[in-house]
Structure 1
Amino acid sequence: MERKSFFDTPIEFLKGVGPSKADVLKKELKIFTYGDLIQHYPFRYIDRTRFYRINEISPDLQYIQLRGQIVEKQILGDVRKKRLVATLKDDRGGHLELIWFQGIKFVEKNIHIGKEYIVFGKPNFFNLKPSLPHPELELVAEAKKEFQTALQPVYSSTEKLKLFFLDSKGLMRLVYTVLQQVAQYIEETLPPDIVNQYKLLSKKEAIIQIHFPTDPKLLQRAQVRLKFEELFFVQLRLLFNKQVKKRLHNGNMFSTVGDLFNSFYKNHLPFELTNAQKRVVKEIRQDTYSGLQMNRLLQGDVGSGKTVVALLIMLLAADNGFQSCMMAPTEILAIQHYNSLCSLLKPMGIDVGLLTGSTRKKQREHLHEALMSGELKLLVGTHALIEDKVQFQNLGMVIIDEQHRFGVEQRAKLWKKNTKPPHILVMTATPIPRTLAMTLYGDLDVSIIDELPAGRKPISTLHKFENHRLRLFGFLKEEIAKGRQVYIVYPLIEESEKMDYLDLMNGYEHIAKTFPVPEYRVSIVHGKMKAQEKDMEMERFKRGETHIMVATTVIEVGVNVPNATVMVIENAERFGLSQLHQLRGRVGRGAEQSYCILMTSHKLSSEAKIRLDTMVRTNNGFEISEVDLKLRGPGDIEGTQQSGVLDLKLADLSKDQQLLIEARKVVEQILENDPSLIQEKNLNLRLYFRNKGVNEITWEKIS
């Protein structure tokens, strides 16, 4: 039988599975084939080399393994609270109760008095007396027939799987059965010179050792080998697609730096560009002049000046006869970009269009006509831009802000609005750790704005406790007296029965009493308000009609009030690092000194302390993102779930950074020497693409 067909064999055909178990394996663990089962790796291992005596059991032992005879068994309790209790006796005369609360009839029928068992489980203590609830039992006589391993693998299971006897031990038996059949067909997937250069285990040996390690060193080598392979193929897919895109898709050439760009740059820039902004403009300029389609990611902290860079590039497109559009994830953010661009371009008399879900029919019709005629060169909007009715005469530049909030298909519709694909600039104010950027955006060129505009002062961040509240209120009154404004952000909207955190409504009442009218005016904004009410309150704050905005995280993105100098975050321990950093970015937009005050109780977890200390220590978003990745892992970072790239079974981007860097370096060397992967040593890599079908480059693959 062919190797491929073996690994694609439906799981129901494996001995010991059958239709009912196959059904639950598919639903609970997404295991459909032999290959899926082999890739259901253990998440930890238990040392099964040691057998404890019953008199050695202590509360600090997490798991114990015993050997002894079942000398008694009985079902106790009434109909509603039955339990099975069996007594185990070891060779030193010690006695221990084994207890089951579920599956009593089945277990009782399969336990035999007088037989010798290997018993494994987590000890429980009641009145200093140990017992073992729901232990694993195995007859000593039969244990020798099982696959022997000093480090027993532990597989993730579920309650439903356990009803079908597919707990960790049951899954281990299935993995052992399938490996007996298919291990001989496991072929090498990496080029032989890479395996030799890095002294990696063979693929076959790594698979066997990851499931049934013969010693800890071989287990570690197996993990390194399989993690490296995962990261290697992620990078190969991204970088190969990147070079194919560049080969296949010519881009519109922006050959001229014309009057619009030069006039704005020389006469209307409100401030001198930072060196970082100049560098990014130069990188984009080189891309758009190359004749190849640009796919570039622009990273820059909140307030770093990405919008001005975007405007310069849109003017460059207009100088070359092309239209541009900028898509934002929310109407508030789209309106903010629109207002910024209109303000910057007003002296030049250049029109900017705005298209959102709220745009009226008559205005929409006018926009459609102006786009089709080519009269309108710059358009800002929400996902309304991707509607089929929105057609351009000659779309040359697409800018997407906070792109992780859009689906892949939504973005792809924009690429198709021109016969020749437009240049793509993806912007994010969420700093992305290097390793995450290399996987999420590995097929994009990356630009970073790592300087704040001149005149901006670093935000001073302070961590304060509840007993500092009176001093805090005094400080807020001082700032308001100077003509400044204040945000106060709460994590909850309504009081929670389970948590004793301050909630938004109680907080608002307290603030309103402390800052009474007519001397002070306080507004409130939260996610449960109607959009119209929310926008009205935000506009009042932006116009300076209210001094304090009490809000939930609804103001995390989309509010730009240069006059706001203080951000107070209540119960700051409840926010993630990325969210804290985004909230802090709402202040510090003007030339005045700004402050972010993190309010917490004294009772903090160790992780919360790390988050708060990090915020106080640094304003650098990239440094913060690295700490966030280590604390939370990549799966929780916003936007990674939809990427599809991070479906890693073993590798962890927060821990395996060096492996990722090494894997990418190897892939870059391979593609530099053999771009089409036609050399004999790289034939299995070409086979990988054929099996995965990833050499079928489509617009949907652009991320």
Structure 2
Amino acid sequence: MQLTDLKGIGPAAVDKLKQLNIESVLDLLFHLPMRYEDKTKLTPISHAQSLQPVLIQGEITKSYVIQGKRTILVCEVADDSGFIQLKFFNFYYSQKIKMQTGKRILAFGEVNHGMHGLEMIHPEFWLAEDIPPLTDRLTAIYPKTEGLPQKRIQNAVAQVLGHLQTGLINLPELLPKDWLEQATLPDLQTALHDVHQPSPDVDMARLLSGRHASQKRLKIEEMVSHFLALQALRQKRQQHQAPVLTLSAAQKQNFLDLLPFTLTDAQLRVLHDISTDLCQAVPMQRLIQGDVGSGKTAVAAGAIFHALINGKQAVLMAPTSILAEQHRLTLAEFFPDNEMAFLSGRLKSAERREQLARIADQAQVIIGTHALFQEDVVYRNLALVIIDEQHRFGVHQRLSMKNKGADKDLLPHTLIMTATPIPRTLAQVAYANLDVSVIDELPPNRQMVNTVLLDNKKMPQLADRIQAACKRGEQAYWVCTLVEESEHLRAKAAEDTYEELQDWFPNLKIGLVHGRLKDDEKTAVMADFKAAKIQLLVATTVIEVGVDVPNATLMVIENAERLGLSQLHQLRGRVGRGERQSHCVLMYQAPLSQNAQIRLSTMRDTNDGFKIAKTDLKLRGPGEILGTRQKGAMQFRLVNLETDKDLLDQAQKLAQLMQKTHPENCQAIIHRWQRQAATLAKV
């Protein structure tokens, strides 16, 4: 059955439904309500409570138009118990004519207390002979798009439910029946009817909170499909061959001797995980989580060492040129005798040609930005791809990078690093196709960064603190933020602040870095800052990741209320990288919204990245934290990872059970829920 077989759904409506990701009649069944309206009973007008939606019926006692700044149609309605005004700010002349005194009217809407008693603003209404009978089920309200009325979606869903009941549409049960009985959850058909057309005696609180048994049953099936999809593609990828990168015990010790510091136990544990993976003939797929300053780059260097010893190429891809340059400088210290290449989008043509030739010929370690996966980049024998802050790259960018090493039927090993702490709930779902290692220990002698909140008006107090820090030989960052997503505006704001701070601190050496500077200019400024030739660095959020200046002990973030928790935590991580006590000042513009208050107080109260990420998950949701609001990304139709996290373990175990006992249903359940599963799991 096609969508156009449904009454009221023509080609134009089909195009609108596609905007809601509805491409088949079965998709309509899984387009679930966002809320419900109770039109099963009438409420006497005098019993209507403020801010509660109710269905009332009465007689029109008066109908008139009020002229003023806004023209308002007022319809006064009475029943045996009381009186209410229905108000319409947008109305048609024909509507005014129809609302005649003495006519019966049925109206549904939220009740408010107005100047003249109870009122409804823009209620849904029916007049006289058009008044429908009361429904015996709650009315589902669906997500919709412009040009597709709610009524049309409701009618289409009702038709499909009817066809499901009569058997005209077949929707097989894919979850094991004995498991459903044991979990006291309904079968699929019952669950869909309960969710689309719940009975009026349903536990409304549970339904609205998404905790009804039928909703749980559908959410678990969606989670199961997600785990099965990722596992299927993990298995598919492991069928490929990868270069075997072995390392002897003596060679491992040689690497440790290269380092100018001693690795923490956590770093050694993660390095062991990586080493074990690289010795296998199947592609490594490992995620390294480590809070800011935990030493992920040193661990990445250990992986690169494997490739070098085996005569292979390794690539490290970073989201910004500043971070890529930081990695280049750090790795040059670890591997001074190895050929390196550097590629970013801002290289001049001659420089780019030179670097491309090095990559194709002698370079062993290649570092750069998104430029590394462009078509004209040819690798000689790429065996390892390291992606830093992977969520900041698009899906297709990450796939292109992996495909670069697919010569000779060998896929490169892949190591993903992130300093964005990911709560277990999120990691369990987003990275179920990866092995995960966590660097859960900071290097010794690191002190927690002291964070304070400061109103913008108290700038003089801050000036004294900056002067004192620089007088002690320490350095400071001043980060400018803007609401607008324009690099030009960000740069202009930073330049204005730079000039202003030069007036405030005529005796300090102040530098400026922003996204519109050329790469070599940014590199020069950052090199001067690292060499302590600059005392105060004015910057945009381009310094968010990767900049490592141990002598910097003070971070000032102006208008901090404009940034998300993850970004604030990353920026704060630029200080506290040495042994001295460091400070972060979050300047804000009062008054603060409730969310901004939560973000800033969270930053003040904890340095723990995982606690911060947990709060961030509650405030922003998984999509934004993982950077997954892009094509091919992880999206759930029903599941809310924060409120439904208690179902994850149950769903994960069920997915494993189905692989063993019902393998024939696994692909069908993936197809039912995961249109973009293949793209998702590959990245």
TM-score (normalizing by structure 2): 0.88
Q: Which residue of 2 aligns with 1:499?
A: none
The verdict on how the C-alpha distance between 1:562 and 1:316 changes in structure 2, with shifts beyond 3 A counting, is same
- Does 1:178 find its partner at 2:185? no
Q: CA deviation at 1:75?
A: 5.6
Partners of 2:340 and 2:521 in 1: CA distance: 26
State the match for 1:684 in structure 2: 665
State which drifts further: 291-300 or 189-198: 189-198
Match of 2:111 in 1: 123
**1: distance between equivalents of 2:477 and 2:106?**
63
Q: Which amino acid aligns with 1:458?
A: M
2:77 is the counterpart of 1:88: yes
| Offset from partner CA, 1:40-60 (integer Å, 9 cap, x none) | 2111223446644434556x4
Query: Are residue 549 (structure 1) and residue 537 (structure 2) matched?
Result: yes
CA distance in 2, matches of 1:62, 1:545: 65
Matches of 2:583 and 2:61, distance apart in 1: 71
In structure 1, what is the equivalent of residue 177 of structure 2?
192
Percent identity between the two aligned chains = 39
Structure 2: distance between partners of 1:16 and 1:50: 28
Question: What residue ranges of structure 1 are gaps of 5+ in the alignment?
Answer: 1-5, 497-501
Q: Take 2:672 and 2:636, find their aligned partners in 1: how far apart are those partners? A: 18
| Matched AA of 1:318 | L
Residue 658 of structure 1 aligns to a residue whose secondary structure is: helix
Summarize deviations over 1:257-307 as a string: whole Å, max 9, x none.
3766432312x2111111111011101111112222111111112221111
Of stretches 533-542 and 287-296 in structure 1, the one that deviates more from structure 2 is 533-542
**Aligned in 2, Cα 1:159/1:326: closer, same or farther, shift over 3 Å?**
closer
Match of 1:281 in 2: 271
1:503, CA displacement in angstroms? 6.7
Q: Which amino acid aligns with 1:154?
A: I
* Shift in alpha-carbon separation, 1:385–1:644, aligned structure 2, 3 A: closer
Matched, 1:335 2:325: yes
How far residue 424 of structure 1 moved from its aligned partner, in angstroms, is 0.6
Amino acid at match of 2:202: P
- CA deviation profile, 1:47-81 (whole Å, cap 9, x unmatched): 446644434556x4242331212344456659x96
**Aligned AA for 2:27?**
D
Q: For the Cα contact (< 8 Å) 2:511–2:525, is it kept in 1?
A: yes
TM-score between both structures, scaled by the size of structure 1: 0.86
Q: Deviations over 1:341-376 (max 9, x none)?
A: 112223xx2232222234455555554455444x43
Match of 1:238 in 2: 230
Give the RMSD, CA atoms, in angstroms: 3.2
The 3 A distance-change label for structure 1 pair 74 and 124 is same
Q: Is the 8 A contact 2:222 2:639 kept in 1?
A: yes
Cα deviation, residue 395, structure 1 = 1.6
Matched pairs, number = 665
SS of residue paired to 2:140:
strand
How many angstroms does 1:447 deviate by? 1.0
Residues 501-521 of structure 1 deviation map (CA, whole Å, 9 limit, x = unaligned)? x975665455333312xx212
**Secondary structure in structure 2 of the residue aligned to 1:599:** strand
Q: SS of the counterpart of 2:246?
A: coil
3-state SS of paired residue (1:137): strand
| 1:3 alignment counterpart | none
CA distance in 1: counterparts of 2:398 and 2:18, whole angstroms? 32
- Contact residue 84 and residue 104 of structure 1 kept, 8 A: no
Aligned to 1:460: 450
What is the CA–CA distance in structure 2 between the aligned matches of 1:328 and 1:695, rounded to whole Å? 26
Give me the whole-angstrom Cα distance separating, in 1, the residues matched to 2:53 and 2:677: 50
2:241 equivalent among 250, 259, 278: 250
- 1:493 to 1:197, Cα distance in 2 relative to 1, 3 A: closer
SS at match of 1:122: strand
Q: Which runs of 5+ in 2 are unaligned?
A: 487-491
- Structure 1 contact 440–643 (Cα < 8 Å) conserved: no
Q: Which residue of 2 aligns with 1:212?
A: 197
1:13 paired residue number: 5
Aligned partner of 1:33: which letter? S
How far is 1:391 from its partner? 2.5
Inter-CA distance 385–293: structure 2 relative to 1 (3 Å threshold): same
Amino acid at match of 2:282: L
Match of 2:441 in 1: 451
CA separation in 1, counterparts of 2:46 and 2:286?
65
Decide whether aligned partners of structure 1 residues 364 and 152 sit closer, same or farther in structure 2, where only a CA change above 3 A counts.
closer
Q: Is the 8 A contact 2:317 2:324 kept in 1?
A: yes
CA contact (8 A) 1:492 1:504 kept: no
Provide the secondary structure at the position in 1 that maps to 2:241: coil
Contact 2:478 / 2:539 at 8 angstroms: preserved in 1?
yes
Superposed CA deviations along residues 617-669 of structure 1, whole A, max 9, x for unmatched, are 22121221111101111132241213735321211011111112221122234
CA contact (8 A) 1:16 1:174 kept: yes
Q: Per the alignment, in what secondary structure is the counterpart of residue 637 of structure 1?
A: helix
Candidates 54, 78, 82, aligned match of 1:64: 54
Q: Is the alpha carbon distance of 1:469 and 1:251 closer, same or farther for their aligned partners in structure 2, counting shifts above 3 Å?
A: same
Q: Deviations over 1:358-401 (max 9, x none)?
A: 4455555554455444x432111222222333333322111111
CA 1:664–1:122: 2 relative to 1, 3 Å: same
Is residue 609 of structure 1 aligned with residue 597 of structure 2?
yes
Instruction: Give the distance between the partners of 2:385 and 2:586, measured in 1 at CA.
Output: 38
Distance 1:695 1:573 in 2: 35
Counterpart of 1:123 in 2: which secondary structure? strand
The residue number in structure 2 matching 1:660 is 648
Aligned with 1:385 (options 354, 357, 372): 372
Counterpart AA for 1:562 = P
What is the Cα deviation at residue 491 of structure 1? 2.2
Name the counterpart of 1:480: 470
Task: Sort the Cα spacing of 1:30 and 1:315 in 2 relative to 1 into closer, same or farther, 3 A.
Answer: closer
Are the counterparts in 2 of residues 493 and 552 from structure 1 also a CA contact under 8 Å? Answer: no
**Equivalent in 156, 167, 188 of residue 143 of structure 2:** 156
Give the match for residue 489 of structure 2. Answer: none
Is the 2:511–2:537 Cα contact (8 Å) retained in structure 1? yes
Deviation of the 1:688 alpha carbon:
3.4
